[in-house]
Amino acid sequence: MIKSLEIHNFKCFKEQKIEFRNLTLLTGLNGMGKSTVLQAMLLLRQSYMMGLQQPLADTERGGLSLNGGLVKIGQAKDAMYEGAEDDRIGFELKYTGGGDKRVVWFFEYDRNSDVLQLVKDSGTVYPDGRERLFHNNFQYLQAERIGPRITYEMSDYMVRKLKWLGTSGEFTAHFLAIHGDKLDVIEPLRYKSSLHTGVTRKLRSVEISKATKLKFQVESWLSEIRPGTRLETISAPDMDEVAYRFSFETQRYVTNSYRPTNVGFGISYTLPILVAILSSHPVRYYC
């Protein structure tokens, strides 16, 4: 896991070190740098996925892309700390587990550029893709997420290859359609059936093997928001769209299925968070 992040001359930070634990909560007044900490890591991942943070030939140079699918900073002048005493933006990550590891980058400041060039003599060590920040199954959900829609986007590459939900949760429906009945939720994250009688009844009606699958577990946890929630995904590959339908189990019957736009905002807003958590796996360390 990431042990610490050090930031040099990036946005509101001249020099800042942040240490991480299994669960890290960033709090503070507006403008104090919470988003900057997240953006620093997102820039590194974004640049790695664009091929800018991988070992290159001696004649080529790596870089930091300030604009992409995860975060959009603007130009270098928007990223540089206002009171900087040198023309470099830098980041350092330390990992623990399977042996401590340090990865460091420094980038040259070019005021109007949106891709900063790597300083080659800075002692930079390239990540190899096995660190969790650069690996598949990475999830980042921004506060502004996709609300109730009649249909949602599909992306075979993002969902099958990267297993990504999208920054706004836009691929959550497609993710559930592909992985909902295949992906097992790890035991510590599974819903405990004794917590809710509706889930207990449901457990009796499904195969034990299905009770550990992502879709069943998502429905079970959604019962804490709206009791008896049942979820169905309907795919239209020719149109690159997928839809949700929700129905609700009562003591007497199961309701008709409804569109997300007719069941309230809470379920659609919460669903990407649930799927991101329940589809996560323990970190595997590499020596």
The reply to whether 21 and 84 lie within a common domain is yes
Cβ atoms < 10 Å from Cβ of 113: 17
* Domain shared by 42 and 86, yes or no: yes
Looking at the fold, whether 71 and 161 belong to one and the same domain comes out as no
Q: State how far the Cα of 167 lies from the Cα of 141, in Å rounded to an integer.
A: 5
Tell me, yes or no, whether 162 and 128 share the same domain: no
Contact status, residue 103 vs residue 127, Cβ threshold 8 Å: yes
Quote the number of domains for the chain.
2
**Is 252 inside a domain boundary?**
yes
| Residue 31 shares a structural domain with residue 61 | yes
Q: Do 104 and 171 fall into the same domain?
A: no
Q: What is the pLDDT of residue 285?
A: 46
Q: Are residues 100 and 189 in the same domain?
A: no
CB of 173 closer than 8 Å to CB of 243? yes
CA count, 13 A, side-chain hemisphere, 159 = 21
3 state DSSP class of 152 = strand
Is 196 inside any structural domain?
A: yes
What residues make up the domain containing 191?
152-278
Domain identity same for 126 and 223: no
Candidates 182, 158, 179; CA nearest to 170 is 158
What string of pLDDT tens digits covers the 287 residues of the chain?
789 999 999 999 999 999 998 889 999 999 899 999 999 999 999 998 888 876 543 435 678 999 999 999 999 999 999 999 999 999 999 887 666 788 888 999 999 999 999 886 555 555 655 677 887 778 999 988 888 999 999 999 999 988 999 999 999 999 999 999 999 999 999 998 644 445 555 555 556 678 999 999 999 999 898 899 999 999 998 889 999 999 999 889 999 999 999 998 889 999 999 999 999 987 654 43
- Which tokens hold the place of 165? 């939900």
Predicted TM-score (pTM) of the model is 0.84
Buried b (16+ CB within 10 A) or exposed e, 61-83: ebbbbbebebbebebbeebbbee
Residue 145 lies in a domain: no
